[in-house]
């Protein structure tokens, strides 16, 4: 059966916040140290200590926002240890992630400089679990106050005259777990207290993000919205796609068809999660003032054999590319509520965009999906209806075979992103473009790009860095106001009209 999809090119459903394409970088394993920061004296080519290859790769996908310093690390991080001359910075133990000594060489100044070099929004997560209200208050003052004050003066002595602009600030992370093992009622009160001292200095207006629920914990969202909704601008949500169980998640590269199917099923569950958490938010905030901030998402597999299990290093295959495509389409389609999302994590950790080994760097299949989707950033979401579709069936269970979203870009062009999640069947698709006759953005031409491979565990290695990448797709044509396409199995496709 041909999947029939209608795209109403003249009906828009809101703006896709570019920050949906955001990233997350924690002091975990080789994400910050080695993955991003190598220091000025490193033989690895760098700009002020930041790897040039990684900077360049992230700029190419237009990284809009970066969350830091955690994760679980955030609730053990004391920012004052990470400013001032590097040689005098306090060393600490990163108890959560492998017990390594953290030398604090990458701190506030380095992070804010990184965001300047990447031209992206910094999103800082503060310490609630083991920090104090005063510590959080002073961090905001240090970063954003322009006048004379102990913290602003200290910042100047540390080499930064002007305050930074900081919009996104998280008041704790996973406070139901590593961020303090709190009950939602308790955290709601603690959140209210801490956020009171997250001040707006001068022109700087902080968008305060409350620590949100883990996956299906709807009660957390209910309590937070009820007790503290009016004190927040955003509420976070974390969800990881784990094919197995936490004790045995499954290999990143060595997996069978049933694990492919389960992974896709669990990735598609993001739609249910976002819908149900959003419904609770709607009850307390029908105007949708509070953004849903999915600040940790992605696949979580067993660590690569032979690597430190506390480093969460995993390879990234075509399966990850499909998870990314499916998830980003879901976020686009919920852009009325989802205002930011941050894939976990940017380099060398979990569903990484980039892997490094010494001076070598490789981009992952996930990276190439972010590349395909970047035209959706700040675009207007188009109304899309799937009228008829073929299910993806495996051993008696079924899933939707096709995932889709469409937008009208800031350049006026229409972009459609599609995933065929089926591991063996191609998908024949007919996309009817209604309202297109009068619309310059659809034009008379369709261009395509695709991420796919023959094997479901195809991945890029340092020896073979281009096994999976985005290439031209010629399997679509525009005929009588409709795009007719045949999508190969296991593919993520971008169609650009006009
Ligand atoms: O991304 C890895 C960890 O997963 C984060 O530190 C934590 O917030 C989550 O549990």
Active-site residue flag, 357: no
Whose tokens are 């650009």? That residue is 496
Ligand 1 pocket member 405 (CB < 6 A): no
Q: What pLDDT is recorded for position 274?
A: 98
- Mean pLDDT over 103-116 rounds to 98
Q: What is the pLDDT of residues 392-413, one digit of tens each?
A: 999 999 999 999 999 999 999 9
- Give the DSSP letter of residue 258: H
- Give the DSSP letter of residue 93: E
The answer on pLDDT for 443 being more than 80 is no
At residue 173, φ and ψ (nearest 5 deg) are -140, 135
Read off the pLDDT band of 24 (50, 70, 90).
very high
Q: What pLDDT is recorded for position 437?
A: 64
What value does the mean pLDDT of the chain take? 96
Q: What pLDDT is recorded for position 340?
A: 98
Element (H, E) at 111: helix 108-118
Q: What pLDDT is recorded for position 1?
A: 86
Percentage of residues in the chain having pLDDT higher than 90: 95
Cα–Cα distances (Å) from 478 to 244, 381, 482, 485, 496, in that order, read: 42, 21, 6, 9, 11
Following DSSP, what letter does each residue of 359-378 receive, concatenated?
Answer: TEEEE-HHHHHHHHHGGGTT
Long-range contacts, 370-373 (Cβ 8 Å, 24+)? 370/21, 370/61, 370/324, 370/328, 370/343, 371/60, 371/61, 371/470, 372/325, 372/417, 372/449, 372/451, 372/470, 372/492, 372/493, 372/494, 373/21, 373/325, 373/328, 373/417, 373/494
Q: Do residues 58 and 50 touch, judged by C-beta distance below 8 A?
A: no
Whose tokens are 């290695």? That residue is 461
Ligand 1 pocket member 259 (CB < 6 A): no
Instruction: Please pick, among 34, 135, 296, 390, the residue that the annotation labels catalytic.
Output: 296
The answer on pLDDT for 191 being more than 80 is yes
* Ligand 1 midpoint to CA 365 (Å): 22
Alpha helix stretches (DSSP H) within 339-426: 365-373
The answer on pLDDT for 465 being more than 70 is yes
- Test site for ligand 1: of 22, 179, 294, 296, most ligand atoms within 8 A of the Cβ: 296
Following DSSP, what letter does each residue of 196-227 receive, concatenated?
Answer: HT----TT---EEEEEEEETT-HHHHHHHHHH
The answer on pLDDT for 440 being more than 60 is no
- Give the DSSP letter of residue 317: B
The answer on pLDDT for 439 being more than 60 is no
Q: What pLDDT is recorded for position 114?
A: 98
Strand partners, 46: 51
- Test site for ligand 1: of 66, 70, 73, 314, most ligand atoms within 8 A of the Cβ: 70
Q: What is the pLDDT of residues 156-169, one digit of tens each?
A: 999 999 999 999 99
Active-site residue flag, 477: no
Q: Do residues 429 and 402 touch, judged by C-beta distance below 8 A?
A: yes
Report pTM.
0.97
Q: What pLDDT is recorded for position 372?
A: 98
User: Positive or negative CA dihedral for 93, 97, 103, 105?
Assistant: negative
Instruction: Please pick, among 174, 259, 380, 390, the residue that the annotation labels catalytic.
Output: 174
- Mean pLDDT over 251-262 rounds to 98
Cα–Cα distances (Å) from 277 to 285, 293, 304, 330, in that order, read: 12, 11, 33, 14
The answer on pLDDT for 211 being more than 90 is yes
Residue 271 burial (CB count, 10 A): 18
Q: Which residue has a Cα nearest atom 8 of ligand 1?
A: 71
What is the token pair recorded at 393?
Answer: 């069936």
Read off the pLDDT band of 498 (50, 70, 90).
confident
Q: What is the pLDDT of residues 305-344, one digit of tens each?
A: 999 999 999 999 999 999 999 999 999 999 999 999 999 9
Q: Do residues 240 and 300 touch, judged by C-beta distance below 8 A?
A: yes
């Amino acid at each position: 059966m041909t999947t029939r999809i209608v795209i109403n090119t003249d009906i828009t459903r809101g703006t896709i916040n570019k920050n949906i394409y955001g990233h997350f970088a924690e002091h975990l394993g080789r994400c910050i140290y080695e993955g991003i920061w190598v220091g000025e004296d490193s033989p690895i080519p760098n700009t002020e200590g930041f790897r040039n290859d990684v900077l360049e790769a992230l700029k190419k996908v237009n990284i809009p926002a970066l969350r830091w310093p955690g994760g679980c690390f955030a609730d053990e991080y004391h920012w004052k240890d990470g400013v001032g001359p590097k040689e005098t910075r306090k060393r600490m133990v990163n108890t959560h992630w492998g017990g390594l000594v953290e030398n604090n060489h990458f701190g506030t100044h380095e992070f804010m400089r990184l965001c300047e070099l990447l031209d992206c929004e910094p999103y800082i997560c503060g310490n609630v679990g083991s920090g104090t209200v005063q510590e959080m208050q002073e961090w905001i003052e240090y970063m954003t106050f322009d006048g004379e004050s102990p913290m602003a003066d200290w910042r100047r002595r540390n080499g930064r005259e002007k305050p930074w602009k900081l919009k996104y600030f998280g008041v704790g992370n996973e406070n139901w777990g590593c961020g303090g093992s709190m009950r939602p009622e308790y955290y709601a009160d603690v959140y209210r207290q801490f956020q009171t001292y997250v001040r707006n200095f001068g022109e700087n207006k902080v968008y305060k993000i409350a620590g949100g629920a883990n996956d299906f914990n709807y009660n957390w969202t209910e309590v937070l919205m009820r007790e503290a909704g009016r004190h927040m601008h955003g509420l976070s949500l974390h969800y990881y796609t784990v094919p197995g169980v936490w004790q045995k998640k499954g290999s990143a590269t060595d997996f069978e068809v049933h694990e492919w199917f389960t992974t896709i099923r669990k990735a598609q569950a993001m739609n249910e999660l976002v819908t149900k958490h959003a419904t609770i938010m709607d009850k307390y905030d029908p105007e949708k003032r509070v953004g849903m901030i999915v600040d940790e998402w992605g696949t979580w597999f067993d660590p690569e054999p032979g690597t430190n299990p506390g480093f969460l290093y995993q390879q990234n295959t075509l399966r990850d590319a499909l998870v990314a495509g499916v998830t980003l389409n879901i976020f686009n389609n919920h852009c009325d509520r989802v205002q930011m999302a941050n894939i976990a994590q940017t380099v060398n950790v979990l569903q990484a965009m980039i892997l490094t080994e010494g001076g070598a760097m490789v981009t992952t299949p996930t990276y190439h999906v972010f590349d395909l989707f970047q035209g959706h950033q700040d675009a207007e979401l188009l109304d899309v209806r799937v009228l008829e579709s073929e299910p993806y069936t495996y051993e008696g269970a079924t899933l939707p075979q096709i995932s889709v979203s469409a937008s009208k870009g800031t350049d006026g062009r229409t972009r459609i992103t599609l995933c065929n999640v089926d591991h063996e069947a191609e998908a024949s698709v007919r996309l009817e473009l209604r309202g297109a006759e009068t619309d310059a953005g659809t034009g008379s031409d369709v261009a395509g790009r695709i991420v796919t491979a023959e094997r479901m565990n195809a991945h890029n290695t340092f020896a073979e860095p281009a096994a999976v990448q985005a290439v031209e797709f010629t399997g679509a044509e525009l005929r009588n106001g409709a795009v007719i396409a045949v999508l190969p199995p296991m593919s993520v496709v971008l169609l650009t009209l006009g």
